[in-house]
Each structure stands twice: as C-alpha cells, then as structure tokens.
Amino acid sequence: MPDSGAVGNVIKLAGELVLPGASGLLDGDIKSGFGHTLLGVAGGALLGPGGILLVKANSYSYSVSEKHLHQHVIDLFVQDQPATTDEPAADA
C-alpha cells in the first residue's frame, strides 16, 4: 500500500491498533512487519503497554514516511546547518 493516501494511512493506523507491524505487512514488507510484531511482543513484556505503543508508533511512522520514529525526533531538534567551505571569510 505504498503512497496509499489518507484512506490507506487510516487503514494502516487501524491495523496497528490490532497488531504491531500491521502497517509493514499491509505494505507487503514482511520483514519489517514481522520484525515490528516480534518487537511489540518483547516491548510489551519488558515495558508493558508503553513498549507496545512505541513499537506500533515506529511501525506506522516507518510505513508512512520511510523514517523511524527516532529519526523524526532528531529532525525536530537538529536544524539544517549551512555548508562549510575551506575558504577564509571575506573581510568587509
């Protein structure tokens, strides 16, 4: 379901409510979907409902934007830096 638009994204979100990794499975990415399912089980066992929620959010994020959740968080805090050059600054 890549580039599935708003309706497809709602279906993916509903799938994540049922099974961690459902977004990846709906996209046909079996490796990512099954991996998130296993991580959801492990996250639930180690961290409880919060662990499952984090895995579900990461799965949906990766399915929709091809970026993991932590990459979105980094993007919030790291702004584009201007390119540096090896030339000395010009004096006015």
Q: pLDDT tens, 1-47?
A: 556 689 999 999 999 999 999 999 999 999 999 999 999 999 999 99
- pLDDT confidence of residue 79: 75
Domain boundaries, the chain: 5-65
Which two tokens mark 74? Answer: 């980094």
Q: How many residues would you count in the chain?
A: 92
pTM of the predicted model, to two decimals? 0.76
Using the 8-state DSSP alphabet, how is residue 81 labeled?
Answer: P
Q: In the structure, what pLDDT confidence band is assigned to residue 55 with cuts at 50, 70 and 90? A: very high
- pLDDT confidence of residue 5: 87
H-type alpha helices, 19-67: 22-27, 30-47, 49-65
